[in-house]
Chain A
C-alpha cells in the first residue's frame, strides 16, 4: 500500500489544489480576526462582541477553545467534501483510475486514498493550529497560568479521529458519485444533515451524531471524552469498511 500512498501524494502534491486548501484554512481565521479587529477599531463599543473569545482569555485557553470550535463545526467540514471529491470522485469520473487499477488492487487503491485523505486532514488541522497560535500571540492577554497543554492534545487527538469519521462518511458518498460537483454537493448535504440532526434529536441520544460531543470536551470530563472517542472510532471503522466494500464491488465504466 505504500506505493499507492507515494503515488497519490506525488499526484496531489504536484498540483496546486492541496496548497490552496492549506492557504484557505490558514487564512480564514486570520481574516475573521482581522475583520473583527477593524470593526473594533471603528466602533470601540462593539469591541467586546466582535473580539469575543480572543481579548478576554489567555493564549493557551484561546488555542484550546478555538480548536473545540474548529472540530465541532469549523470550515474543515466544508473543505473535506471538496478534498474527497477531487481525490476519489474525479479520479473515477474522468477515467484515470483504471490505469492505477492495472497496477494495484482496488482494495489497496481505496485504502491508500483514505490514508492520503487522513494525511491531508492532519495538514489542514496543523494549518488551523498555526493560524490560531498567531492570533493568540497577537490578540490574547498573556500566556496564562493554567496549563491547557494536555487538554489541547486530547482535543487534537479526538478531533482528528472525528474528522476521520466524517471523512469516511463523505468518502462513501464520493464513491457512489461520478461527477465532482455532485460529490461536493452530496458532502455539503451530509454536513447540513448532521448539523440539523444535532438540533433535532433528543439530547439524551445526541451523542451518536458525529462531532456532537466535541463541544462537551470544553468541560474535560472523562465520560464525554470517552464517548466522543468511541463514537468517532465507530464512524471511522463502519464507514471505511462500507467504502471499501462498495469500491470492491464497483465496476469501472468510465
Chain B
C-alpha cells in the first residue's frame, strides 16, 4: 500500500534581506517516515525546519501538513507537530516536570494527562523534580523529546538531536527515537550532519547544501547498491560529494 504524504514542501524559498537562505526546496515526507535532512553546517537545515514550524515566514512557496496549507490555520495545523530546534532550551529554574506542565497547559487536558506517561517513555521520571539547570545535556535532550511528544502529535521534528552528546548517550537517544517511530507510529523529520545517524534511523534522506535540496534517497535503495565491503559513510559521501558545497 502506498504511503500518504503527511508533510509537503513546495518550492520553498526564504530570503533574509538580499541573501537567499533556502531556494526552491521540494520535499515530500510520508506517514511513518523517519526522514533525515542531511547537510553541512550552514546548509539551511534549521531554517527549513523553522519554516515548517511557522517560526519564519517563507518568501515564497507552500507548506502543507496533512494536505492543508499552513496559512491562516497555522495554529491548528501546528498542534499536530512537536519539535526540538537547535540546543534544547527550557526554563532552567523550573523542574523538568514543571517545564512539561507549562507547555501542556497550552495544549489542554489530554496533554496534561500524558505527563507521567511521557516522562516514563523518555526515561527521565526519576529526575522529574530536579531543576533543569542541574540536568546533563543528554537528560535535556530526553526532556526536549518529551516536550515534543507531550501532545501526541503525528509529526515530530528534531534538529540535530544527538549534537554534542557522547556516543553512549547519543545511541540511547537514537533508540528512543526509533522506539517512538515504531511503537507510536510517529513521523520524524530529523536534521543532522552525522551519517551514522542517518544509517541507523532514517528510511529516507534528503541532502541539503547552500539552501538547495540536491538529492533525495530511499535508504533501501542506497543499501541495495552499496558494495558490501564499503562503509556506509564512504559510499554515501561518494554519491553526494560533488554536489555538497562546503564553505
Q: State the A residues within 8 Å of B (CB).
A: 3-4, 6-7, 10-11, 14-16, 94-96, 98-105, 108, 251-253
Contacts and interface: CB of A to CB of B under 8 A. Distances in A.
Contacts of B55: 98, 101, 251-252
Contacts of B151: 103
Query: A11, A100, A104: which has the most chain B beta carbons within 10 Å?
Result: A11
A102 B56 contact: no
B83 to A, nearest CB: 6
25 contacts: A6-B105, A7-B102, A7-B105, A10-B101, A10-B105, A14-B98, A14-B102, A15-B91, A15-B94, A16-B93, A94-B89, A96-B89, A96-B90, A98-B53, A98-B85, A100-B106, A101-B53, A101-B54, A103-B78, A103-B106, A103-B107, A103-B151, A104-B75, A252-B55, A253-B56
Nearest to B50: A252
Contacts of A10: 98, 101-102, 105
Nearest to B47: A253
Interface residues of B, number: 30
A103 B94 contact: no
Nearest to A6: B105
Interface in B205-225: none
Nearest to A103: B106
A98 B54 CA distance: 9
B108 interface: yes
B74 interface: yes
A7 B103 contact: yes
Interface of B: 50, 53-57, 74-75, 78-79, 81-83, 85-86, 89-91, 93-94, 98, 101-103, 105-108, 147, 151
A235 B74 CA distance: 31
Nearest to A100: B106
Given A11-B91, A95-B86, 17 more contacts: A3-B108, A10-B101, A15-B93, A15-B94, A16-B93, A95-B89, A96-B90, A99-B83, A101-B54, A102-B53, A102-B82, A103-B78, A103-B79, A103-B103, A104-B75, A251-B56, A253-B56
Nearest to B131: A15
